[in-house]
Amino acid sequence: MPIRYIDQIKDLKGKRVFIRVDFNVPQDEKGNITEDTRIVAALPTIKYAMEQGAKVILASHLGRPKGEKNKKYSIAPASKRLSQLLEKKVVQAPDCFGPEVDKLVNAMKPGDVLMLENLRFYPGEENNDKAFAKSIANGAEIYVNDAFAVSHRAHASVEAITKVIPVVAAGFLMKNEMTFFDRAMHNPVHPLVAVLGGAKVSGKLEVLETLVNKVDKIVIGGGMAFTFLKAMGYAVGKSLVEDELIPTAKKIMDKAKKRGVTFYLPVDCVIANSFDPKATNFIATVQEIPEGWMALDIGPASAALFSAALRDAKTVIWNGPMGVFEMDAFARGTFSMAESIANSYATTIIGGGDTDAAVHKAGVADKVSYISTGGGAFLELLEGKVLPGVKALNVK
């Protein structure tokens, strides 16, 4: 799909450039940002626009304020953090549009940066309302989408706004996301290995059905593995199972077998008598999970098996932890996978908030080829879908 990027726009000087960023970042109870990866990821695009003399208008959502103004969800802390990173004052607007915002926009000089307030303070954002899009555009002449993580949603600042601003483009973060994804899925170096984890099969059903046609190996961990293990006839105690998806799990495994895709499942696991960080736990093979016990992590033999599966990989995609890594007792499997992927010789691409957090917690983030800023958007690309936010940038 032909997309124009910000550095392909000839003249930004003096122009109002609206950049949709994703500053939906975690904060503590006092409003201090605890993790700023998404803000840092947007810096190259913002700095480029500033250096070209653009008047930069930034917009993002934060949390789920449900279309109402709520100070708890103000974007101001993100604006403050951006000021620190840019070493330049970022003006925080009191709203997304209106007379006060008009004054601030009209007073902007080339190289200035203005941050609009949380877009989701208005229902028009999530309703993809064109009138709302025109209001938040604030007279911008150029629109740049650098918010990959929300580009799977047809919201006003992602889709409708491309119909009210004459020139549209993607930022450098979006370019990186699409380039690495294309390298992984459309033009991969084989063997291509997909590693999937997390709690449920249902959230990744379409992903699995797409991947089984493209990859050489599939590694399944996390809670979702136990639906597949039960489909194979194992008793899995109180482990998380989606019984209604057992027939689908069987079909996916059958399809993998017919296509010659090697399908890896855990051979042992860390089991506990309750979902509690202090619960009694021990290691058991998947054939020996007692009734009333639940598996909350993959075991050491599974970690070794999965690591061996990656040894000849040339491209690895990973989404979803191997266990409940937020609890120390059940974190070893996820950290082991993070280290195995980081130490592989493959191009390694990681997507999803939990997986991102796990890689950082394991201390190996700098060894991964690319960490996507998107969770839902990353999964939808894996499913083979065209993201609304990307489609809207199509140069006709």
* Helices and strands in the chain: count of H runs, count of E runs: 14, 15
Degrees, nearest 5: CA angle 372-84-55: 80
Q: Which amino acid is at 111?
A: G
SS3 50: helix
Which residues have CB under 8 Å from 43's CB, separation 6+?
85, 86
Which residues have CB under 8 Å from 342's CB, separation 6+?
348, 359, 362, 364, 367, 368
CA atoms within 13 A on the CB side of 177: 31
Q: How far apart are CA 382 and CA 351, in angstroms?
A: 10
Residue count of the chain, please give it. 396
Return the closest-CA partner of residue 138 out of 176, 107, 110.
107
Return the closest-CA partner of residue 248 out of 227, 263, 266.
227
**Residues involved in catalysis:** 38, 200, 353, 376
Return phi, psi of residue 21, to 5°. -110, 170
The CB density around residue 367, as the number of other CB atoms within 10 Å, is 15
Q: How far apart are CA 245 and CA 259, in angstroms?
A: 21
Q: Which amino acid is at 183?
A: R
The CB density around residue 26, as the number of other CB atoms within 10 Å, is 14
Q: How far apart are CA 213 and CA 252, in angstroms?
A: 10
